[in-house]
Structure 1
């Protein structure tokens, strides 16, 4: 296709951009698979020819996009934008910047490109097949909300609808993003970012609750009667989930409530969720869960699932865990969890190192984390070499050191020390100082009969001289 034809195609088509609400990342839609998984690419010039193009003059919402949206797996996890092809890359950057640093001005600039999916979500609500288990019924009515207070915060109904945040509020959830608010105290004005939720007062008014950003979660004081252990704190700081069920106490009624606890990723606020509200899906990314796996997740514990299929059709494995704040099973790609799990599930030491099999004695020392001498290794040029190996039981990795690189912290056996001292450093002791040949692995004294006799003869001569003196 010629450059002119490409330019004409661009002028007549739009590009579909998508915001992944979980990662808050903008990408361009490439295709939709039959299983409902969407394939995306980074909105760069390099990937421009892979962007899905849409007829600029077609009946977009009622035809193509409605079918696309209804076939999509996990549609509520995404927001979509339809932008002209010639400015798609520029607009993708602009939209991404807005979600990194929201402002009223940038909100207006991107609003005209966003596709409103409220009606489509309502039609498709019965067919949702995702990890989120949010209730579809509404907890509040928009007419009950104290809009006067909302407006004083700069939160009009129209603005919340444009941000796609009114619907989750009415369902009883917090906004899934930080929203700038302005509070006028008369003599001072406070401008800050908050997550927003709705609460019902004793006189049945529906008022906004502002969840401000904390520098760090407060884990040093009791939380509804629960005092955090050191392990609780570590789990919360590592994965934002405590990892177990605890009994919390309702301060008003004294009721004991089995709950799980997580940290709000946007505000660092501690969030509790009753275990009765935990709903575990039957399947996650193509892998059906058995009852034991479901029970692990219901108890708030992390679970490793292998053989899942990504949106791009690639197989992957990951830990998953139920998050009290998000109210669904989330993926945990944090390396700290792998490190923690490796301590509980110690890695098995390999019996081979660089095609050299370890002896039984070597392996027993090696798997215990001791430094072991190994020879008979061959480099890429076919040259033999030797050195020391140490196994890290926490990481499952083997460290290799040449004799002259061995750190003081590594403690090889005495036999290995003698061999290196004699062969590599030219040192001797009474049994080796008259030896002309190199010692073999673990050898501390000469084993050849002739060598032994030579050493013994010299040794007797030395002793005789000492007696005469």
Structure 2
């Protein structure tokens, strides 16, 4: 390994590695350096490639290919972890509290990335951690990565990302980019997506735009239906992780709109709004603005009512009934001298001819 490399870039140092354990696997520092595996290990990542190891079980010797990683244990010691090859990922059981949907399974098998942020549970502390999930394509191991640690670049191969594109990637979804420039200076198009195993945005060249659109539509449908439906028409006591107090709940289940704060989005930012329980659909409607205020703002003004009544409905307004022209927006009085003269003219009834 190059001794001139800045050690500040590394999470671990070579002397922290348990080389006695490595020797039991038939490995040493020299071998790992020749396989270009030391750099990723010291940075805190898994080795980029599969490493052949030998395990002596006493009565038998087992050989296998694994990915290696270094992890700090509870006592502070650096331990060597082996990531063996699985025939297929285990998607039927819960993963850190998350139950995979059919769409989740499909995405993990096809692209390797689940494609959305979900709440996972730390089994030791019970902490709820919004995370993305990917499949290690070399071992089929499932890997989770905290959403708060995700870093999205401002530019990818010459294409500057706007805020909407960055948000798409932060939500774990795939993004199709056109007109990128390769290292050889050649233009190319590809899908990009954050990979939890690699911990960065990767290229997915085998994903077609039509498949991408289908996945995005499916994800949008899930997002719109993320609130559970209560078939028994009972109002939920918890909304997006925030439990309602007794006073709030009584109003909420009665169908009243209540204010709720202390909510947290996928990026960990707090927000607040108004919720209303719809008894007919058993769904909870959320709005950042009070629905009654929105209705009030949507009501037509008196000026607009006058204009509509006169111009459209054929009704009259005492102050403008003699005007010949249609009323302008918000007009309730004559707008100029000509209209004033028209309004003052009152036709006298003609007598009947004998």
TM-score, normalising length: structure 2: 0.58
Instruction: Provide the residue aligned with 2:36 in structure 1.
Output: 164
| In the alignment, structure 1 residue 213 sits paired with structure 2 residue 85 | yes
Q: Where do 1:263-302 residues align within 5 Å? A: 263-302=135-174
Counterpart-to-counterpart distance in 2, 1:219 and 1:118: 43
Q: Check whether the contact 2:174–2:212 (CA below 8 A) recurs between aligned residues.
A: no
Q: Cα distance 1:343–1:282, how it changes in 2: closer, same or farther (>3 A)?
A: closer
* CA distance in 2: counterparts of 1:174 and 1:278, whole angstroms: 18
CA deviation string 1:409-450 (max 9, x = no partner): xxxxxxxxxxxxxxxxxxxxxxxxxxxxxxxxxxxxxxxxxx
Distance 1:342 1:246 in 2: 20
Give yes or no for contact 1:307–1:317 (8 Å, CA) kept in 2.
yes
Which SS does the other structure have where 1:259 is aligned?
A: strand
Cα distance change on mapping 1:138 and 1:284 into 2, 3 Å: same
**Aligned counterparts of 1:312 and 1:234: Cα–Cα separation in 2:** 34
| Gap change, CA 1:297 and 1:153, over 3 Å in 2 | same
- Conservation of the 8 A alpha-carbon contact between 1:246 and 1:259: yes
Q: Alpha-carbon deviations, 1:132-189, whole Å to 9, x = none? A: xxxx632222212211011111110111122221121112110000000000111111
- Which position in structure 1 is the counterpart of 2:104? 232
Cα distance in 2 for residues equivalent to 1:260 and 1:277: 10
Q: Equivalent residue for 1:3? A: none
Task: Give runs of aligned pairs for residues 185-224 of structure 1, distance below 5 A.
Answer: 185-224=57-96
CA contact 2:176–2:212 (8 Å) conserved in 1? no
Q: Does 1:151 align with 2:13?
A: no
1:304–1:240 distance in 2 versus 1, CA, 3 Å:
same
* Partner SS, residue 9 of structure 2: coil
CA distance in 1, matches of 2:195, 2:115: 9
Between the aligned partners of 2:54 and 2:167, the Cα distance in structure 1 is 44
Alpha-carbon distance, 1:243 to partner: 0.4
Q: What is the CA distance between 1:299 and its match in structure 2?
A: 0.8
Structure 2, unmatched stretches of 5+, are: 218-354
State the match for 2:9 in structure 1. Answer: 137
Partner SS state of residue 62, structure 2: strand
Q: Tell me whether 1:321 sits opposite 2:193 in the alignment.
A: yes
Question: 2:176·2:209 contact (CA, 8 Å) conserved in 1?
Answer: no
> 1: CA distance between counterparts of 2:125 and 2:193?
30
Q: Counterpart in 1 of 2:119?
A: 247
Deviation for aligned residue 1:197: 0.3
The Cα shift of 1:280 comes to: 0.7
CA RMSD of aligned residues (A): 2.0
Q: C-alpha separation between the residues in 1 aligned to 2:76 and 2:2?
A: 31
Map of 1:283-362 to 2, 5 A cutoff?
A: 283-335=155-207, 338-341=210-213
Measured after TM superposition, the shift of residue 200 of structure 1 is 2.3
Distance 1:343 1:228 in 2: 15
Distance 1:323 1:240 in 2: 8
SS in 1 for 2:185: coil
User: For 1:254 and 1:137, how far apart are their aligned partners in 2?
Assistant: 32
TM-score, normalization by structure 1: 0.44
Judge conservation of contact 1:239–1:337 (CA < 8 Å) in 2. Answer: no
Deviating above 4 A after TM superposition, structure 1's stretches of 4 or more consecutive aligned residues are: 342-345
| Alpha-carbon offset, residue 338 of structure 1 | 3.8
- Provide, for residues 48-94 of structure 1, a one-character-per-residue CA deviation record: whole Å limited to 9, x for no partner: xxxxxxxxxxxxxxxxxxxxxxxxxxxxxxxxxxxxxxxxxxxxxxx
CA contact (8 A) 1:146 1:207 kept: yes
TM superposition shift of 1:245: 0.1
Q: When the two structures are aligned, how many residues end up with a matched partner?
A: 217
CA shift for structure 1 position 118: 6.5
Residues 343 and 302 of structure 1: CA distance in aligned 2, closer, same or farther (over 3 Å): closer
